Copies of this chain bind each other. A is one copy, B any other.
Amino acid sequence: MSTGMNRRVHVNDVAPRDGLQMEKHFVPTEDKIAFIDALSDCGFDRIEATSFVSAKAIPALRDAEIVMQRIRRKPGVTYTVLVPNLRGMERAIESRADELNLVMSCSESHNRANLGMSRAGSLGQLLEVVRQAGRAAIRCNVSLSTAFGCPFEGEVPIAEVRRLAGEVMQGGAASLTLCDTTGMADPAQVERVIGAISAAVPLPQLTIHLHDTRGMGLANALAALRSGVQHFDASCAGLGGCPYAPGASGNISSELLVHMLDSMGVESGVDLDRLLDVAAIVPRLIERELPNPLLAAGPRSRRYPLPEGVVRTAEAPLRAA
């Protein structure tokens, strides 16, 4: 084992928010609640349950209040919600969210495309939310999008990521998430960026949010793990996409992450069998097919029957070539 790897990490399942917000089909409120309750029973430390944005902006999550009111709050699980502004903060606090997740981008173009304002505007706004939430004793996590590359601008200077991370933490955020929003990160870069921001964000306050857009999701998770990262975002069934690349996959799947952690002897607290049962109902939830490699092949612990005619015996004598 490399130095720095923890034997216990924490997984935040973001499927109910980050996954469902992209779906065209409106998932009925009762189904969302059952989904979140099922995830609670899997053993996740944190679940991103919904988003307090305007119903016009994201109709898929227009039922945020009812969801937060009716989910079963499992002791020990942090129910976090995305909040875009002060109005969202008020709604989230009223709905007894445990934590607010605030978002801005590391690159100017992506911030404008995604949030409709400049980074300076977003930073000011989210730090104001952090201050006011602090008065209500609600902790805020800040998610920095495009921390590993921007689909419009390309490379994002590490110095920019470090500067923003520093401002956010100094501004009172309890924790920070570095997001590989469109799956541009590579393992060497993950190590570089984590190293660069370590002075600004202690590892216990850092989450890594990875996408599997280009097949490197778990390789990047491995690099983060080896760098001492303790907190990972992931999404049940890999829900969530890449808005700029139709057909491309999105968030790393929770079950693939947990399966890798289990295989490596890293404890996540998540019960893989239960999680696979939940992942199996996701296509019904969203009313579309969603390829799932771990459901297709089964976990590595699955044993397949021997083909017919092959017997388990001691070694046969050497056969002539």
Please tell me if the beta carbons of B186 and A263 are within 8 angstroms of each other in the complex.
Answer: yes
Please tell me if the beta carbons of B315 and A108 are within 8 angstroms of each other in the complex.
Answer: yes
**Residues of B with C-beta under 8 A to A45:** none
For A84, the closest partner residue in chain B by CB is B321
**Residues of B with C-beta under 8 A to A151:** 302-304
A 207-240 binary contact with B (CB < 8 Å = 1; else 0): 0000011111111011100000000000000000
**Residues of B with C-beta under 8 A to A315:** 108, 118-121
Q: How far is the CA of A214 from the CA of B294 in the complex (A)?
A: 6
Please tell me if the beta carbons of A306 and B118 are within 8 angstroms of each other in the complex.
Answer: no
Please tell me if the beta carbons of A217 and B215 are within 8 angstroms of each other in the complex.
Answer: yes
Check if A98 is an interface residue, CB within 8 A of chain B: no
Residue count of chain A within 8 Å CB distance of chain B: 79
A 292-321 binary contact with B (CB < 8 Å = 1; else 0): 011011111111111100111101111101
Most chain B CB within a 10 A radius of its CB, from A120, A297, A303: A297
Q: How far is the CA of A305 from the CA of B294 in the complex (A)?
A: 34
Partner of A218, one of B1, B216, B319: B216
Please tell me if the beta carbons of B218 and A307 are within 8 angstroms of each other in the complex.
Answer: no
Copies of this protein in the assembly total: 2
**Residues of B with C-beta under 8 A to A187:** 222, 260, 264
Q: How far is the CA of A242 from the CA of B149 in the complex (A)?
A: 34
For A299, the closest partner residue in chain B by CB is B214
Check if A188 is an interface residue, CB within 8 A of chain B: yes
Please tell me if the beta carbons of A317 and B214 are within 8 angstroms of each other in the complex.
Answer: no
Please tell me if the beta carbons of B244 and A154 are within 8 angstroms of each other in the complex.
Answer: no
Check if A204 is an interface residue, CB within 8 A of chain B: no
Check if A75 is an interface residue, CB within 8 A of chain B: no
Check if A37 is an interface residue, CB within 8 A of chain B: no
**Residues of B with C-beta under 8 A to A246:** 296
For A124, the closest partner residue in chain B by CB is B318
**Residues of B with C-beta under 8 A to A303:** 151-154
Knowing A113-B306, A298-B245, A304-B244, the reply to whether A121 touches B264 (Cβ < 8 A) is: no
Q: How far is the CA of A42 from the CA of B27 in the complex (A)?
A: 46
Please tell me if the beta carbons of A188 and B306 are within 8 angstroms of each other in the complex.
Answer: no
116-136 of chain A: CB within 8 A of chain B: 117-121, 124-125, 128-129
**Residues of B with C-beta under 8 A to A184:** 300
Partner of A121, one of B149, B182, B188, B317: B317
Other A-B pairs beyond A108-B315, A120-B316, A216-B260, 6, CB < 8 Å: A109-B312, A152-B304, A188-B264, A214-B299, A219-B219, A246-B296
